[in-house]
Amino acid sequence: MKIGIFDSGLGGLVITRAFINEMPEYDYVYYGDTQNLPYGEKTSGSILSYTLEAVRFLIAQDCSLIITACNTATSIALRYLQQRFIPSYAPSVKVLGVVIPTVEEALLPATSKVGVIATSATVRSQIYRIELQKIRPELYVREIAAPELVPAIENNNFAEAEKIVRNYVSRFADMDSLILGCTHYPLVKNFFREYLPRHVRVISQDELMGAKLRDYLRRHQEIDGGLERRSDYQFLVSSLNHHYQKVAETLFPDIPVRERIR
């Protein structure tokens, strides 16, 4: 059995790279739903439908552990997946999200103010505010949507992405931590760190998810024992064009991205 990673586009390849760097021996299947991106401006019903389809596909690829690397899909669909869909459809499969590990990383003892920048759907769900304040009820949380950022990143327009980041950072200058609440945002994390005051700790999911997954597998030997270790990597998308190939090659020059066969 394999580890599956799902994202709304190519941003999740950054998280996949973190997993492979930390644990290269495992088999991974990445699936990016490039045909329907960006998820962040879609309705909750559409996001749930796309996510269910992606999880079904990864289960069909023999994935017994699936990580929804997409923050938007995690915020809208993860609870339904874990509590209703998986128990009846594939009870031996585990589905994890990226929000809880990120929240844990953001809450240092002295932290009293946390910013979150994410897609519109993630901000609407208030999932980061809810999970942060479950742990620390008195915490001040400021959530702001940046709907322009994912399209700029997916279009490989980093000059535009830098301008967008500069337009948002002033709203987080008084925070202790800033969560980059989208798996595309690690690709522009250096812009956030350049333009924010030094005291603002930028939480980028690519820097924490590899160690978090290793720790999870260490604590769940019943899952770890069933995973193949052949270093076999497959990268699939729902729609492929030359642009997506170029973006993927910047992250994994030796592993081709293929379009899913339906």
70 catalytic per annotation: yes
- Residue 18 Cα to chain centre, angstroms: 11
pLDDT reported for residue 35: 93
Considering the entire predicted model, what is its pTM? 0.93
**Active-site residue, 63 included:** no
The residue from 70, 86, 96, 209 that is catalytic is 70
Domains of the chain with CATH codes: 2-97+208-259 (3.40.50.1860), 100-205 (3.40.50.1860)
Catalytic option among 13, 66, 81, 182: 182
Least confident of 8-12, 50-54, 104-108, 218-222: 8-12
Reference 75, options 126, 133, 144; nearest CA is 126
Give 99's contacts (C-beta < 8 A, 6+ positions apart).
71, 74, 75, 78, 127, 128, 131, 181
What angle do the packed helices 99-106 and 127-135 form, to 10 degrees?
A: 50
Residue 116: what are its φ and ψ, rounded to 5°? -135, 125
Residue 192, helix vs strand vs coil: helix
CA 191 to chain centre: 19
Q: pLDDT higher for 110 or 56?
A: 56
DSSP for 91-108?
Answer: TT-EEE-SHHHHHHHH--
Summarised one tens digit per residue, pLDDT across range 150-199 is 999 888 899 999 999 999 999 999 999 999 999 899 999 999 999 999 99
pLDDT at res. 145? 97
